[in-house]
């Protein structure tokens, strides 16, 4: 299997181009992380919101204790949840997340969504998520607060200065908001993590990042699949990419699986990917996505499936919760 290339970030640190996503990795998370390291994964994409940072840290610790890897061989990403955007909340929660992982620094820390919500006591409601119930058992929804992104960014810059975090970035930002942040960031935005699959290609946003030297990480690379798993109606209305004739045809030509073609379509265009799998054979297969090349024509034909369909849209859930009422 071909070695995983690295992307040099604006911070100067290197990020592996293929990593392992930790959302919905719940049962046996320590073993999954340990087995992923054994299979060759070096980047793990976590978040406060995934509720499994302590469990993931156990897998990392076991791999380090057994001498499979050293800390510096790994690239650990985590994210700031929406309820910690206030300046005073940022550093304490970064320190708490490091504690859960058993680490003294994160390689990368991202603002998870450009959505600032009222602080929730995570010792009572963990993970906080989009819907949490108050002590009275009533769904309080999520409460917006007036914290500009720059306040949160400054607090993350301070975490870099304190060496709690090596590189910082954002997730789920679109072009204009990213451009606004770039005007004021003192420490560069190293990474933008976005939903990206053939039904949501976002070519202009990716071009902007390329121009600015910001690495782009694609999440939900398999499109509907990740959301069908959650029973989201919108995802069920689209043809699963694994069953799409175009993707299946290209996969057969290269003797690869549709999943590998979808990941290669992204990596060959310079994006990083972070597929998640709870299935050991798929976990291994998703790492083998840099050692073959699609033709330019194949890449273009996959990109033409673009339908501008976004599954992970907070406005959908925020609207449902009537938080602005």
Ligand X SMILES: NC(=O)C1=CN([C@@H]2O[C@H](COP(=O)(O)OP(=O)(O)OC[C@H]3O[C@@H](n4cnc5c(N)ncnc54)[C@H](OP(=O)(O)O)[C@@H]3O)[C@@H](O)[C@H]2O)C=CC1
The set of catalytic residues is 50
**Among 144, 312, 321, 323, which residue interacts with ligand NHF (rule: CB under 6 A)?**
312
Query: Could you say whether residue 78 binds ligand X (CB under 6 A)?
Result: no
Decide which of ligand X, ligand NHF, none touches 49; Cβ closer than 5 to 8 Å per partner kind. Answer: ligand NHF
Decide which of ligand NHF, ligand X, none touches 202; Cβ closer than 5 to 8 Å per partner kind. Answer: none
The rounded distance, in Å, linking the Cα atoms of 85 and 151 is 8
C-beta nearest to ligand X: residue: 21
Q: Minimum distance from CB of 138 to ligand X (Å)?
A: 27
**Among 156, 221, 256, 290, which residue interacts with ligand X (rule: CB under 6 A)?**
221
Residue 253's Cα: distance from chain center in Å? 30
Size of the site for ligand X (CB under 6 A): 29
Q: Minimum distance from CB of 30 to ligand NHF (Å)?
A: 20
**Three-state SS string across the chain, please?**
CCCCCEEECCCCCEEECECEECCCCCCCHHHHHHHHHHHCCCEEECCHHHCCHHHHHHHHHHHHHCCCCCHHHCEEEEEECHHHCCHHHHHHHHHHHHHHHCCCCEEEEEECCCCCECCCCCCCCCCCCCCEECCCCCEEECCECCCCHHHHHHHHHHHHHCCCEEEEEEECCCHHHHHHHHHHCCCCEEEEEEECECCECCHHHHHHHHHHCCEEEEECCCCHHHHHCCCCHHHHCCCCHHHCHHHHHHHHHHCCCHHHHHHHHHHCCCCEECCCCCCHHHHHHCCCCCCCCCCHHHHHHHHCCCCCCCCCCHHHHHHHHCCCC
Q: Minimum distance from CB of 286 to ligand X (Å)?
A: 5
Span of 22-30, 54-62, 89-97, 132-140 interacting with ligand X by CB under 6 A: 22-30
**Among 13, 23, 122, 292, which residue interacts with ligand NHF (rule: CB under 6 A)?**
23
- Site map 142..171 versus ligand NHF, x via CB under 6 A: ------------------------------
Q: Minimum distance from CB of 137 to ligand X (Å)?
A: 28
Nearest to 102 by CA among 57, 51, 72: 57
* Nearer residue to ligand X within complex by CB, 66 or 243: 243
* Nearer residue to ligand NHF within complex by CB, 82 or 167: 82
Interface positions, 33-52, toward ligand X (CB under 6 A): 45
C-alpha torsion 173→226→219→51, nearest 10: 80
**Among 128, 172, 190, 202, which residue interacts with ligand X (rule: CB under 6 A)?**
172
Contacts to ligand X by CB under 6 A: 21-24, 45, 112, 171-172, 193, 219-222, 225-226, 229, 242, 257, 259, 274-279, 282, 285-286, 312
Residue ranges of the binding site: 112
Q: Binding site for substrate, residues?
A: 112
Residues binding ligand NHF (CB under 6 A): 23, 47, 49, 112, 130, 312
């Amino acid at each position: 299997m071909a070695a995983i290339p690295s992307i040099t970030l604006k911070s100067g640190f290197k990020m592996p181009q293929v990593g392992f996503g930790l959302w919905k990795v719940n049962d046996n998370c320590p073993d999954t992380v340990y087995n992923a390291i054994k299979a060759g994964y070096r980047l793990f994409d976590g978040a406060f919101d995934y509720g499994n940072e302590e469990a993931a840290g156990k897998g990392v610790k076991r791999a380090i204790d057994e001498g499979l890897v050293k800390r510096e061989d790994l690239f650990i990403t985590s994210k700031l949840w929406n309820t910690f955007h206030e300046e005073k909340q940022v550093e304490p929660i970064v320190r708490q997340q490091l504690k859960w992982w058993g680490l003294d620094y994160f390689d990368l820390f991202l603002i998870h969504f450009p959505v600032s919500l009222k602080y929730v006591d995570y010792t009572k409601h963990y993970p906080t998520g989009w819907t949490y119930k108050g002590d009275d058992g009533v769904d309080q929804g999520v409460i917006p607060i007036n914290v500009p992104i720059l306040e949160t960014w400054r607090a993350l810059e301070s975490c870099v200065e304190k060496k709690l975090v090596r590189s910082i970035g954002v997730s789920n930002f679109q072009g204009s908001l990213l451009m606004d942040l770039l005007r004021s960031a003192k420490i560069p935005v190293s990474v933008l993590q976005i939903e990206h699959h053939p039904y949501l290609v976002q070519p202009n946003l990716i071009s902007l990042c390329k121009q600015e030297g910001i690495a782009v990480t694609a999440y939900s690379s398999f499109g509907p699949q990740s959301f069908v798993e959650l029973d989201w109606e919108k995802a069920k209305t689209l043809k699963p990419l694994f069953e799409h004739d175009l993707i299946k045809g290209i996969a057969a030509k290269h003797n690869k699986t549709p999943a590998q073609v979808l990941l290669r379509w992204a990596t060959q265009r310079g994006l990083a990917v972070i597929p998640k799998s709870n299935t050991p054979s798929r976990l291994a297969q998703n790492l083998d996505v840099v050692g073959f090349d699609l033709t330019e024509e194949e890449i273009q034909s996959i990109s033409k499936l673009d339908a501008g369909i976004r599954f992970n849209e907070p406005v959908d859930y925020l609207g449902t919760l009537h938080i602005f009422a």
